[in-house]
Structure formats: C-alpha cells, structure tokens
Amino acid sequence: MRNIQFFSTDTDDGVVSVVAKTGPGEHRRVAQIPVGNAPRGGVKFTQNGRGFVCNTSQNTISEIDAVALTEVRRIEVGHGPRGQGMVPGDHYLLVSNSGSNSISVVDLELNTEVHQIPTGRDPRHMGISADGSTAWVCVWGDGYVSKLNISALGSDNPAAITEISRIPVDREAHPYSLSIDPSGRKVFVANTQATFVTVIDAETDETHRVDVGFIGGRAVAFTPDGRHALVTVESISRVYVIDVDTLQVVRHVPVGPGPRGLVIDPGDDTAYITNFARANMMHSGDNHPLFGPNSLTMVDLTSAPLDRDEGTFTYEEVHVGYGPCSVVLFDLDTLSAEERARRVEHASTQA
C-alpha cells in the first residue's frame, strides 16, 4: 500500500485540500487546511515535509505540516505573493511578489524574509536548477523570463544574488509558469495569452516556440521518463503533449473544465489536473470527461499512447475545494515512521 498525499491549493475557499492515495483509483479527501486569503500556486515542500503556500491577497506565505495537516505559521514577504521555488538544501525559499515586483528570499531556519530582489512587473511562477545555481522566473507583466544566479545562497549571501539575463518571450504573451525538463537542458514556459509554449535553452538562452493553437497555457510537467512535456491549456480544457526532443505536439488529452495545475505521480504514471473553472466549460465533440469544476481530473497515462492520437484515456474525478489552481504530491513514505509519529503527537498537544 502506498502513502501518497495530493495538496490542492483552493483559492476561493482559502484552504489547501489534502487527498490521500493508497493505490490506483483509491483516493479520499482527508483534510482541508485553512491558510491565508486567496492561496495560489503549488505547495513547495522540504524533504522533511514542511510545506509553504502563497497567500496572494496578503503579504504572507503559510507553512503547513504534511503529517499533522495543519498550518504552522505565517511568514511575511512582499505584496501579492504568487509563486515559489525551493532551493536545493531546503535552507532557502524564493517567493515571487506580484504586487511588489520583487523576489523574496526566505530563510527557512530563521523563518523570516532576509532579502528582496527587484524584478519587472508582476513576477509569477519559477523553477530552480537541480544544483541550486540558477532560477528562472516568469515576469508575467513584462513578457520575459528573468534568469537569476542564486549560487550565493550556497555561502549564505542572499544579497549577492544577481540577474544574469532577461529572456524575451513576447510582451503580450504573459508567461505564467515554467518547468525545467529532467535533463536540465530545456525550460518550458506556459503563456496565458499566447497560442504557443516557449522553450528556452538553459545554457544559451535561445528560445523556440511550440504552437498549441489556443491561449491559456498554465502549467507544465514531465513524464517520469522525461520524454514528454504536458501543458495545461485552460481555454480549451486540454492537456497538450510535447515531445521533449523534437519539440513537436504529438497529441492532446481532453480533461475537466478550466485546467490549471498539473502533477504526475511517477509511481503509476497518472496525471492530476486541477479543474479551476467557476462554471462548466465543456467542449462538445472532444471526448471530455463529464467532470465539474472544483475537482481534479486523474488521467491514467498508460491507458493510451502519448506519442500519437490513438485510443482513449482512462479518467477518474477527485473532488477538492473551490477554485483549485495548483496541485502537488508528497510521499509520506519518504519520512521515517518515528518522524511521522513525533509530528502527529506534537500537533495533538498544540490543539
């Protein structure tokens, strides 16, 4: 039996919904964790289960505990926090402040903001290289991706972080989120107001456009084998599948209404997509599952080929809270039994 939890950031409810998974098709909502006002973005976890989520209508991030399923504290950052990046080593968290046009550096040992880095207008979601040397940040309002040298964090010197380059996407494209492919060579950018996905060469900053035909790109994730990038396109309620090597769209997957967040469980090759739409957005004739808003679409990625338009995928609907914008996975089996027991006991004494 597996011990997986999915954390859905439910903006309209002001909660993070927690769905437990013990096996294929075995899902149960086990908690809703109240956090701050209008939480946005995926929860970012340290390896020992400390999770952080942005409270966008405030100037705080909430820390939640993956075991006790409670809010632990709130940490003040800039205004309108929307996106985060956990720096390898779990000492620092980067937070994009859409209202302050800055990136906060949060020291997770001190539980406080220690520095702010100015950016362009309205920074959103980001990705950090596996070696912790580089961060890429979507600057939604100015149409570019900011590339930061964050290697100074390795010597505990946040003030020495520098911007290496500003990689143009398109001023009207509004780059929203990005993800680095498992090889570390390519950065895939989802654009909310462009009909293309932008792919950045991580070394040279050269860009390539992959046409998907519709605006509304929101999130990017990769299959466990690294061969395919999956991109949610909210306006058409589909997930587009892109071959990472050839940068060609190889098929699309109809999903529930208004897809935004996306995560793939590598244990059984299933994708979980948040259905954010506040009203039903079904598109007739496209074989969409008859799922409503405020849920997750679960897609068995092994039930049909990803590299060609053949066969029909197997789906399941998992209910969460109102306005789910992002979803992430945490495997409780990565924690020791003693650590899980200790933290549950601590939570019960604080209640």
The whole-model pTM stands at 0.95
- Sheet of 324-331, strands arranged across: 26-34, 15-23, 4-10, 324-331
pLDDT score, position 184: 97
Backbone angles phi, psi at 32, to 5 degrees: -130, 120
pLDDT score, position 24: 81
3-class SS string, 95-137? EEECCCCEEEEEECCCCEEEEEEECCCCEEEEEECCCCCEEEE
Residue 232 CA to residue 254 CA, distance in Å, equals 10
Percent of the chain with pLDDT over 90: 89
pLDDT digits (tens, 9 = 90+) for 309-349: 999 999 999 999 999 999 999 999 999 888 777 766 665 66
pLDDT score, position 329: 98
pLDDT score, position 86: 98
The residue written with tokens 């709130």 in the block is 74
**Closest-CA residue to 19 (of 340, 344, 329, 335):** 329
Residue 217 CA to residue 176 CA, distance in Å, equals 8
pLDDT score, position 350: 56
Residue 196 CA to residue 192 CA, distance in Å, equals 9
pLDDT < 70 stretches in the chain: 279-285, 343-351
Residue 62 CA to residue 295 CA, distance in Å, equals 23
pLDDT score, position 337: 83
Q: Do residues 286 and 300 touch, judged by C-beta distance below 8 A? A: no
Residue 152 DSSP SS3:
helix
pLDDT score, position 348: 62
